[in-house]
Chains A and B, each alone.
Chain A
Amino acid sequence: MINNKKLMPDSEVKLSVQRCLKYRKRILEISQQVSALHAAGAFSAIEIVDCIYNSLMRGQPGVNSPDIFLMSKGHGCMSQYVVLEDIGVLTRRDLDLYCKKEGILGCHPDYGNPGIEASTGSLGHGMGLATGIAYTERYLQKSEAVVYVVFSDGELQEGSTWEAMMMAANLKVSNLVGIIDHNGFQSFGRTTETHPAFYPIREKIESFGWEVAEVDGHNQSAIYNAVREKSGEKPFMVIANTIKGKGVSFMENSPIWHYRSPTAEEFQIALAQLQEVQL
Chain B
Amino acid sequence: MRNAFSDVIYEMAQTDPKICVLVADISPAGSMEKFRERFPERFINTGVAEQSMIGIAAGLALKGMRPFCYTIATFSLYRPFEMIRVDLAYQNLPVTVIGMGAGVIYSTLGGTHHAMEDIAVASAVPNMTVVAPCDPAEMRLMTRWCATQSSGPVYMRLGKVGEPDLTSSSIDPFIAGKIRYLVRGTDLAILTYGNTAAMAMAIATKLGALGISTSVISVHTLKPLDISGIALILKSHMHNVVIEEHVPHGGLSSRVKEIAWDIQLKNQIHVFTLKDEFIHSYGEYSDLLASHGLGAITILETLSSIKFETIL
The residues of A with any CB-CB pair to B shorter than 8 Å are: 111, 117-119, 122, 124-125, 127-137, 139-141, 159-160, 163-164, 166-167, 170-171
Contact = CB atoms under 8 A, between A and B. Distances in A.
A134 B60 CA distance: 8
Interface of B is mostly: helix
Contact of B59 (A133, A141, A170): A133
Given A118-B91, A135-B44, A140-B41, A164 B56 contact: yes
Interface of B: 20, 41-42, 44, 46-47, 49, 51-52, 54-65, 80, 82-83, 86-87, 90-91
Contact of A128 (B20, B54, B90): B54
Contacts of B54: 128
Nearest to B54: A128
B63 A131 contact: no
Given A140-B65, A167-B49, A128 B60 contact: no
Given A129-B55, A163-B46, 9 more contacts: A118-B58, A122-B86, A128-B59, A129-B58, A129-B59, A132-B60, A136-B65, A137-B63, A164-B56
B60 to A, nearest CB: 4
A104 to B, nearest CB: 16
A132 B91 contact: no
Contacts of A128: 51-52, 54-56, 58-59, 83, 87
Nearest to A141: B63
Contacts of A170: 47
B41 A139 contact: yes
A131 B55 contact: yes
Given A125-B86, A140-B65, A160-B83, A135 B60 contact: yes
Nearest to B90: A119
A130 B42 CA distance: 17
A127 B52 CA distance: 8
A130 B59 contact: yes
Contacts of A118: 58-59, 62, 91
B301 to A, nearest CB: 49
A132 B80 CA distance: 16
Nearest to B82: A122
Contacts of B57: 132
A80 to B, nearest CB: 17
Contacts of B64: 136, 141
A135 B56 contact: yes
A125 B58 CA distance: 10
28 contacts: A111-B91, A118-B58, A119-B87, A119-B91, A125-B86, A128-B56, A128-B58, A128-B83, A129-B55, A129-B56, A129-B59, A131-B55, A132-B58, A132-B63, A133-B59, A135-B59, A135-B60, A136-B59, A136-B60, A137-B63, A140-B42, A141-B63, A159-B51, A160-B80, A164-B52, A164-B55, A166-B47, A170-B47
B52 A167 contact: yes
B56 A167 contact: yes
Contacts of A122: 82, 86
Contacts of A135: 44, 56, 59-60
B51 A132 contact: no
A111 B87 CA distance: 10
A226 to B, nearest CB: 24
A127 to B, nearest CB: 7
Given A111-B91, A117-B62, A118-B91, A132 B86 contact: no
B55 A171 contact: no
A171 B82 contact: no
B81 to A, nearest CB: 12
Nearest to A133: B59
A127 B49 CA distance: 13
A227 to B, nearest CB: 20
A159 B49 CA distance: 10
A265 to B, nearest CB: 38
